[in-house]
Amino acid sequence: MANPTFTLPARGATPELKLSKKAPKSTDAILVPVLLGEEGPELPASPLLDDAALRAVLTSLTAVGATGKAGEVTRVPAPEGAAGTSVIAVGLGDPEELTDETVRRAAGCAARSLTGLKTVSTSLGVFGLAAAVEGIALGAYNYRGIRGGAEDNGTPVGKVVFVGDTKVDADAFETARVTAEAVILARDLVNTPSSHLYPESYAGIIAAEAEASGLEVEVLAEKALAKQGYGGILAVGQGSSRGPRLVRLTWTPKKSKKTVALVGKGITFDTGGISIKPAANMENMISDMGGSAAVAATIIAAAKLDLPVKITATLPLAENMPDGLALRPGDVITHYGGVTSEIINTDAEGRLVLADALVRASEDKPDYLIDTATLTGAQMVALGVRTAGVLGSEELRDRIAATGRDVGEPAWAMPMLEEQEEELKSPVADIRNAHPNRWGGMEFAALYLSRFVGEGIEWAHVDIAGPSYNTSGVHGYTPKRATGVPVRTFLALLAEVAQED
Ligand code: BES
Ligand code: ZN
Ligand code: ZN
C-alpha cells in the first residue's frame, strides 16, 4: 500500500458549480450570451432577463460598442428588476457557425472576467450546457502555487449557477462537472513542482485519490520492480536518489463488455540524464509526467461516472537525473518481458519506461491499448504546440484524433514510417532508443513503442509534448502551464466504447 500521507501542496482554485431551476436571489452578476447579428449584437431570450430587461441590456451593450463576436466580454449595469448589480455578456459570434467549442471558449473568456465575484448566475447553458460548464470551470481555473503569504494573482468567481431544467439536464451537467474536475486534477498534478511531486509522493497522491473513488490500486516500489524485471523503469530511475514506482489502477464496473488499457508517461522531472538538457526552459520539465496525470485523472473520473467499461491504468513513474549511478549512453538494458534496448541517448527516457508499461498492460489482453506521453520535441516541430500527434493501429488512431478534435483537444493522425525499421536496429541489443538523424522523431518514438505492444492488440500512442503544457499565452479556456490534455478526449472515447458490443 502506498503511503497515504502525501497530498498535493497546492490546488488550483475553481468555482463551485450548480444547476438550478431559478437564479438564486443573491447573485452578484448575471452572465448571458450575445450573438453577432448582421445589424449589431443580438441578445437571445434568457431565463434570467424578462423582455424589458433584455431590451435595456441590449441598448446598453450597443451603446458601449459590443458586437457579439466570439469571446468578446462586455459588462453593463444590471437593468431594473434583474438580479445582481451587473450583466456580463459574452459573445458567441455568428449563430450559423456556433459549435460546442465556440461555447467552451467563450465561457472560458467570460470566466476569467468574473474574478473576485462571489456568485454569478448564467444562461450560457442554453447554447450547450456541457460546453458552458466545462468552459467556465476550466477557464476560471487558477493555480497559485506554494506561497508564504505573498499576494496572489486573483481569486476566481466563487460559485456559478447554471439555470436549466434540473431533471432533463442533470446527467449532462454532472458528466460535464466530473469531466472538468478530472481535467483540473490532471492540471494540479502537472503544475506541482518536482520538489513536491516525485515518484513516491506522486504514487501516494494518486493512490489516495483512486482509492477514494473505488479503484483497485497497486504500487510497485524498487524491490518489487527489480524482482519482476522492470528494467526500463529501473534504468531511468537509477540516477535519482528518489526511486521509481509503477502504479496500477483498475476500474471494474458491475457490467462491462470491453476492456481499455491506458498507459501514461510519468517522468516527474526530466533533466535528460547524462545526455543532459540545456538550462534554458528546463523548468518546464516538471510537466514530463503529463501523460500519467491525464490517465490517472481519466480513470478516476470514469469510476465517478460509473462508466460500464473495464479500465486499467499503468503508470511508470521515475525521475530522470544524472548522478554516479545514472544510466549511460552505450548501456544495454533488459525490459519487462525480455526485450533489450541499447541506450543511445538518456534523454529518450520516456520510451524506456513506457516499454515496460506497455508489456505489462498487454498481459491483460485489452480490447484497446492507449498510451499518452510528453514524448518528443519532434511532436511540436511537426504539429505545433496545441495539436497532439496520434500514431498506431490505423482505425483506433484515426478515431482518437477525431474524438480529440471533437472535444476541443486538437489531435492529428501521423504515419508509422517503414524506412525507420532499419534505424531501430542495434549492433548490441534487440533495438536502440534513438535514431541517427533528425527526421521523424515522433514517428521513430512510436515505432520503438510498437515493439512492446502485445500481438494483435489495437494500440494508439498520443504524443502530447506540446499540448499538455502551455508556455505561451492564455487562450479560450486554456490557462498558462498545465492544460489537462487529453483527459476530455479519453473520457469521450471511453463513454463511446462503453456503448460497444
Ligand atoms: N520529455 C522530452 C520531450 C519533451 C520536450 C516534452 C519538450 C515537452 C517539451 C523527452 O524525454 C525528450 O527529451 N525527448 C528527446 C528525444 C531524443 C533525445 C531522441 C527529444 O525530443 O529531443
Ligand atoms: Zn527526455
Ligand atoms: Zn521526457
> Mind listing the domains of the chain with CATH numbers?
16-166 (3.40.220.10), 179-497 (3.40.630.10)
Q: What letter represents residue 101's amino acid?
A: E
For ligand 1, is residue 378 a contact (CB within 6 Å)?
yes
pLDDT of residue 155: 84
Joined together, the cell numbers standing for residue 106 give: 467563450
Question: Of 494, 265, 493, 456, nearest to 365 (Cα)?
Answer: 456
- DSSP helix/strand/coil, 258: coil
- Is there an atom of ligand 1 within 6 Å of 463 CB? no
Q: Which three cell numbers stand for residue 379?
A: 511532436
Output DSSP code: residue 50: -
* Cell of residue 366, nine digits: 485489452
Dihedral pair phi/psi, residue 257, rounded to 5°: -105, -35
Per the document, the length of the chain is 501
Ligand 1 pocket, residue 345 CB under 6 Å: yes
CA dist 192 and 344 (Å) reads: 30
Name the DSSP letter for residue 97.
G
Q: Is 367 one of the annotated binding-site residues?
A: no
Instruction: Return the best residue to mutate from 267, 351, 376, 383 for the ligand 1 pocket (most ligand atoms within 8 A of CB).
Output: 376
Q: Are the C-beta atoms of 104 and 409 separated by less than 8 Å?
A: no
> Which residues touch 149 (CB under 8 Å, ≥6 apart)?
none
- Across the strands, what pairs with 18? 161
How big, in percent rounded to 5, are the helix, strand and coil portions of the chain?
35, 20, 45
Residues 6 or more apart whose CB falls under 8 angstroms from that of 220 comprise 228, 230, 245, 246, 247, 248
Selection from 342, 351, 347, 356 nearest residue 320 by Cα? 347
Kindly give the distance from the C-alpha atom of residue 54 to the centroid of ligand 3, in angstroms, as a whole number.
Answer: 53
Cα 349 to ligand 3 centre (Å): 6
The ligand 1 atom nearest the CA atom of 378: 21
Residue 24: its pLDDT value, please? 84
Q: Report the C-alpha gap between 291 and 265 in whole angstroms.
A: 5
Dist. CA 141–CA 112, nearest whole Å:
8
Angstrom distances, CA of residue 55 to CA of 83, 206, 210, 386? 16, 51, 50, 40
Which residue, 390, 357, 375, 346, is CA-closest to 441? 375
Using an 8 Å Cβ cutoff, are 265 and 352 in contact?
no
Instruction: Count CA within 13 A, CB hemisphere, residue 479.
Output: 25
Helices (H), 424-486: 441-450
Helix (H, G, I), strand (E, B) or coil at 333: strand
Ligand 1 atom nearest to CA at 350: 11
Nearest atom (ligand 1) to Cα of 320? 11
Burial 432-467 (b: 16+ CB within 10 A, else e): bbbbeeeebbbbbbbbbbbbbbbeebbbbbbbbbbb
Cα–ligand 1 centroid distance for 288 (angstroms): 9
Kindly state the cell numbers that stand for 143.
493555480
- Asked if residues 101 and 116 have their Cβ atoms less than 8 Å apart, the reply is no
What does pTM read for this prediction? 0.98
Task: Give φ, ψ of 269 to 5 degrees.
Answer: -155, 135
Q: List average pLDDT for each run of 10 residues in the chain, which is 501 residues long.
A: 77 97 90 97 96 97 98 96 93 98 98 95 98 98 90 81 95 98 98 98 98 98 98 99 99 97 99 98 98 99 98 99 98 99 99 99 98 99 98 99 98 98 98 98 99 98 99 98 99 98 90
Q: What is the pLDDT of residue 2?
A: 47
Contact residues for 374 (Cβ-Cβ < 8 A; gap 6+): 265, 267, 287, 288, 289, 290, 291, 350, 463, 464, 465, 468, 469
| Cα–Cα distance for residue pair 22/17, rounded to 1 Å | 14
Please give the grid coordinates belonging to residue 116: 473576485
Grid look-up 494573482 returns: 153
- Residues 230 and 318: beta-carbon distance below 8 Å: no
- Residues with catalytic roles: 277, 351
- The H-or-E segment that residue 317 falls in is strand 310-320
Q: Is 270 in the pocket of ligand 1 (CB under 6 A)?
A: yes
398 is in an annotated binding site: no
Please tell me whether 347 is known to bind a ligand.
yes
Distances, alpha carbon 162 to alpha carbons 46, 95, 123, 170, 177, in Å:
12, 21, 6, 11, 11
Q: Which three cell numbers stand for residue 188?
A: 494540479
